[in-house]
Chain A
Amino acid sequence: MPTLPQFLSQAFNGIALGSLLALIASGLSIILGTLGVLNFAHGAMFMLGAYTGFVVLSHWDSFAGALVLGALVLLLVGFALERGLIRFYYRRPPEDQILVTFGLGIMIVEAVRYVFGPLSQRVPLPSWGQGIVNLGFFIYPLYRVQVIGIVALLLFTFYVLLYRTRIGLVVRAGIEDPLMVELLGTHVRRMFLVVFCLGAMAAGIAGVIYAPLSAVVPNMGEPFLVQCFVVIVIGGLGSFPGAVVGGLVVGEILSLTTLFDPAYAQAAIYAVMTLVLIVRPRGLFGTMGRA
């Protein structure tokens, strides 16, 4: 049996991983809910953010700079993709949208592989994030504690944006019924652009934060994309609270199962997903009638 400190330490890892998953998945989920597009390139966008973090942090010790640049890069990429390609796909069947974003994801990953090479590269911690902290029962890496704080702050910002601002109101209305929003005089296509960029930025920022925790490698986004799918199936389509709760659930399952037997960590999240599919197919926070 694992000791209490081991258990707590893994539980904390679960929160750190889970909150990151929540951030990525909420980006994916609002794009899916509003535009109806399942963005298979979302993992690649996360990876782009991580590489931006890698470039900035290995040259300058500026985490804020990395965050801003990461958000900016993904804003530009999101803008270019939505205007240049995705918007022509709104009238096409969802399968085509999946295919084109899948293709875009491959192109982004391959471009990064070409530029930065196929090997994984370490990303330095920001200077203020080095060291460990004593949390009473156990000792824990400082940066991970900070990650939980930063992501919580970002998720809160996202929440305020979605639930306390006019644009957020329009976006949430758009998730319920895009056609009605259009009929009420909102320029839906412009809203789609905003949402796509927001979703891309969420993935990018999560990538920047994640980079120092691990290392960067071109196909690092793939497992995150798949885990985000699991998060969305568990949490419910287009639901922000669903993405957050689903993210934390998946993060905790991954971390705590690792404690007992790492071999089953991945299998466990699919088991929970299967359970949700059987008991509550629309997901924990999903509404009836969508997809």
Chain B
Amino acid sequence: MAKAARRGRYRWLPELAMAGALVMLPFVFDRWLGSVDLFTRILIWGIFGLGFDLLFGRTGLLSFGQGAFYGTGGFITAYLLTAGILGNVWLAIATGIAAAAAFSLVVGFLALRRVGIYFAMITLAFGELAYFLENSPLAKWTGGENGLPGVPAPSIALDGFTYSFAGSWPSYQLVAGFYFAGFVFARFVLLSPVGSVLTAIRQNPERSAALGHDVRAYKLAVFVLAALFAGCGGALLGIFQSYMPPDAFALETSGQLVIQTVIGGAGTLIGPTVGAAIWLTLRDVLQTIPGVGDLWKFILGFVFVVLVTFMPNGVVGTALRLWSRGAAKQIAAPQPAIHHEAAAAREALLAPLSSVRVPRSASGAARFALEVRNLGKAYGGIHAVDGVSLALPEGRLHAIIGPNGAGKSTFLRMIAREENPDAGQILLHGIDMASADVTAAYQAGMAKSYQINQLFPQLTVRQNLRIGALGRHRSRLRLDVFRAADGFADVERLVDALLEELALQSCADLAVNTLAYGEKRRLELGLALASRPSLLLLDEPLAGLSPAEREDAKLLIRNLNKGRTIVLVEHDMDAVFALAERITVLHEGRKLAEGTPKEISSDPLVREAYLGGTTPP
């Protein structure tokens, strides 16, 4: 709570600082750099960059086609105004922004079919497509290579008094106003659950999806969001210059945006603006130096390569890092534990969420939490899993054992819907999961903890757990950008309870990559728990733990079993025989045996195939 209060007090500090800078800086430019126009130009790039920073800096999606949306916003606005279709400039700007967003929806839908390198290539290709469309087939409307001259400036009328935003200072006021609004909006997005999910997607998209967030939909959302900013920047460019240039669409525009963002610092929001300031001022300055003028772009290219190599956080990112290192020394004292729920209250908080619609069979016969029928999966000619069935009543702790390569992990992956079976059926509380993906499975109350930790390494423990808790709390996709990520009281209570249950309070606000292995392992389990699942899939939860940690983990698993069904895959036989109510033995993809621990340990087949004839404990 202390943290939230501190956050509250400083929440608006960046906005205040930005407002101050927007009031003061133009005078600096006017006085020492010739004209305020340079600063206006920087801010137009800055608006364009605010969106790009959400896309690339925050979500890690490197698009080389942003010029397409900058140009679309600019040309639609300019065309509507110069062709006399719209008289109201504000309305034209809004239409331009909407058009850019609509175009980005199409491009994003296609480009996001692939990730990483492919995404960069495809966005670049669509950027070029837009450029060619503007230049030839649409030249009748866009002016082709000539662009559109004569874009008017907007004005406001109040009580017969009219103020026009034409001219140097008025257009600065217009652009600065938009920039400030954009900055405030982008900050809202960052601090919202959406911002948290975007950060999580960047660090571990697979786990984000497995925690109930629709990764592709969020990526598409941020892609469109970036296009809104781009369209706004383009519209303002045309108005500011009273001319809309065709090279807004050029690859060079998209490239310059990328360069400015990296120079300034990706993921810092104002990075692209600072980068634009560096790029544009340096260009102006270098061009006036005799002998160097022709090389200005070479020099900027060199600076860029050096920065990418040695200062990947850019100017702002590096400055922030140095500053926070200084600040960290001042608040070295560990924070006191935040709140203590009584053990019973904590248990209630962590109990399975009963939002699952459970159809009761008419006969009232025993219903199953999980039912698997004849599940099969083959890779090439090898049957990894071959016709395995399983039926777990509510609250069962069921272990699956078998030698390496028996198909345990594949089996678990199919149940969690990370892999599609070739044959068979999976029913969760009687509901067929055939069409569900891993995200839907999580939303339905199934969660998996992984054999190899799948965490968000640069987020704190608390933020990690929050990502998990928010998934179930907010459904697959919700664009609640005006809510604070840490503003959901019940999510915060759940996170606190998890921290306590997992004995992670002391490192709650540490980045995960600084934790010890045992702590990461507990957090791995915690992420799965954060949705309060009714079915928990544990893939070798004890792997790599020390004997003492194993005892703790066993206790924890037994605790979690209260009112919750658990499927446990584990190699530690002591743990399996101590914990499980029933055990299934897989061997070469088939079910070899199933029974109570006692039955299994005395089954001659199992002893021969797996336990090697030795007497089990």
In A256-270, the 8 Å CB interface with B consists of 262-264, 266-267, 270
Complex interface: chain A residues within 8 A of B62 (CB): 95, 98-99
> With an 8 A cutoff between CB atoms, is B262 at the interface?
yes
B297 interface neighbour in A110, A223, A277, Cβ under 8 Å: A110
CB pair A103–B128 under 8 Å, yes or no, is no
Contacts of A106 in B (CB 8 A): 255, 297-298, 300-301, 304
Tell me the minimal C-beta distance from A238 to chain B in angstroms: 11
A100 at interface (Cβ–Cβ under 8 A)? yes
- Separation of A6 and B133 alpha carbons in the complex (Å): 25
Stretch in contact with the other chain, from A123-131, A183-191, A194-202, A224-232: A224-232
Task: Give Cα distance in the complex from A208 to B353, angstroms.
Answer: 68
Contacts of A96 in B (CB 8 A): 308, 312
Cα-based distance from A223 to B262 in the complex (angstroms): 24
Taking the complex as formed, is B88 at the interface, i.e. its CB lies under 8 A from any CB of chain A? no
CB-CB contacts of A94-111 with B at 8 A, as 1s and 0s? 111011101110110011
Taking chain A's interface residues, is the majority helix, strand, or loop, or is none over half, making it mixed?
helix
Which residues in B have their C-beta under 8 angstroms from that of A32? 117
Contacts of A241 in B (CB 8 A): none
Contacts of A60 in B (CB 8 A): none
> What chain A residues lie within 8 Å of B305 (beta carbons)?
85, 100, 103-104, 107
Contact A226 B259 (CB under 8 A): no
Is the CB of A88 closer than 8 A to any CB of chain B?
yes
User: Is A38 touching B121 in the complex (CB atoms < 8 A)?
Assistant: yes
B294 interface residue (CB < 8 Å to A): yes
Task: Provide the bound-state CA to CA distance between A106 and B300, in Å.
Answer: 9
Bound Cα distance from A96 to B312, whole angstroms: 8
- Does A274 belong to the interface (CB within 8 Å)? yes
**Contact A274 B110, beta carbon cutoff 8 Å:** yes
- Interface contact A267-B133, CB-CB below 8 Å: yes
Are the CB atoms of A110 and B301 closer together than 8 Å? yes
Chain B residues with Cβ below 8 Å from A113 are 294
Given contacts A230-B125, A274-B110, contact A264 B137 (CB under 8 A): yes
What per-residue 1/0 map shows which CB atoms of A30-45 lie under 8 Å from chain B?
0010001010000000
* B-contact bits for A75-105, CB 8 A (1 contact / 0 none): 0000000000100100011111011101110
Q: Is B60 located at the chain interface by the 8 A CB criterion?
A: yes
* A38 and B298 contact, CB distance less than 8 A: no
Residue pair A99, B121 in contact (C-beta under 8 Å): no
Mask for B86-128, Cβ within 8 A of A = 1, else 0?
0000000000000000000000001001111110111011101
* Of A38, A92, A107, A263, the contact of B137 (CB 8 Å cutoff): A263
Known: A110-B297, A110-B301, A291-B115. A233 touches B125 (CB 8 A): yes
Closest B residue to A270 by beta carbon equals: B129
| A226-B308 in contact (CB<8A) | no
The answer to whether B309 touches A267 (Cβ under 8 A) is no
| CB within 8 Å for A107 and B298 given contacts A38-B121, A94-B117 | yes
A141 at the interface (CB under 8 A from B): no
B128 touches A226 (CB 8 A): yes
Q: Interface code B254-280, partner A: CB below 8 Å = 1, 0 otherwise?
A: 010011001000000000000000000
Asked if residues B251 and A222 are in contact (CB atoms below 8 Å), the reply is yes
The count of residues in chain B whose C-beta lies closer than 8 Å to any C-beta of chain A is 40
List, in ascending order, chain B residues with CB within 8 A of A270's CB. 125-126, 128-129
A168 adjacent to chain B (CB < 8 Å): no
A111 and B128 contact, Cβ closer than 8 Å, known pairs A38-B117, A96-B308, A100-B309: no
Residues in A with CB closer than 8 Å to B83 are none
Counting CB contacts under 8 A, is B136 at the interface?
A: yes
Check if A233 sits within 8 Å of B308, measured CB to CB.
no
Q: Which residue of B lies closest to A36 (CB)?
A: B117
Q: Does B302 contact A (CB under 8 A)?
A: yes
Bound CA span A274–B128, Å: 13
CA distance A288 to B5 in the complex (A): 50
Q: When chains A and B are docked, how far (Å) is the Cα of A92 from the Cα of B309?
A: 10
A99 CA to B136 CA in the complex, in Å? 30
Check A103–B308 contact: CB distance below 8 A. Answer: yes
A110-B298 in contact (CB<8A): yes
Which of chain B's residues has its CB closest to A228's CB? B121
A4 in the interface, Cβ–Cβ < 8 Å?
no
The answer, yes or no, to whether A137 is at the interface (CB within 8 Å) is no
Task: Name the CB-closest residue of A to B297.
Answer: A110
Contact of A99 among B126, B251, B308 (CB under 8 A): B308
A277 touches B122 (CB 8 A): yes
Which residues of the other chain, A, contact B136 by a CB distance below 8 angstroms?
262-264, 266
**B282-341, CB < 8 A from A:** 294-295, 297-298, 300-302, 304-305, 308-309, 312
How far does the Cβ of A1 sit from chain B's closest Cβ, in whole Å? 21
Having A93-B60, A222-B251, A291-B117, one finds 20 other A-B pairs with CB under 8 Å, namely: A95-B60, A95-B62, A95-B116, A95-B120, A96-B312, A99-B262, A100-B309, A102-B259, A103-B259, A103-B302, A106-B255, A107-B301, A110-B295, A110-B298, A223-B128, A230-B125, A266-B128, A277-B122, A278-B110, A281-B114
Residue ranges of B at the interface with A (Cβ–Cβ < 8 Å): 56, 60, 62, 110, 113-118, 120-122, 124-126, 128-129, 132-133, 136-137, 139, 251, 255, 258-259, 262, 294-295, 297-298, 300-302, 304-305, 308-309, 312
A/B interface sample: 23 pairs, CB < 8 A: A36-B117, A98-B120, A99-B308, A100-B305, A100-B309, A102-B255, A102-B258, A103-B301, A106-B255, A106-B298, A110-B298, A110-B301, A114-B298, A233-B122, A233-B125, A262-B136, A264-B137, A267-B132, A270-B125, A273-B125, A277-B110, A277-B113, A291-B118
Closest 3 CB pairs of A and B: A263-B136, A110-B298, A106-B301
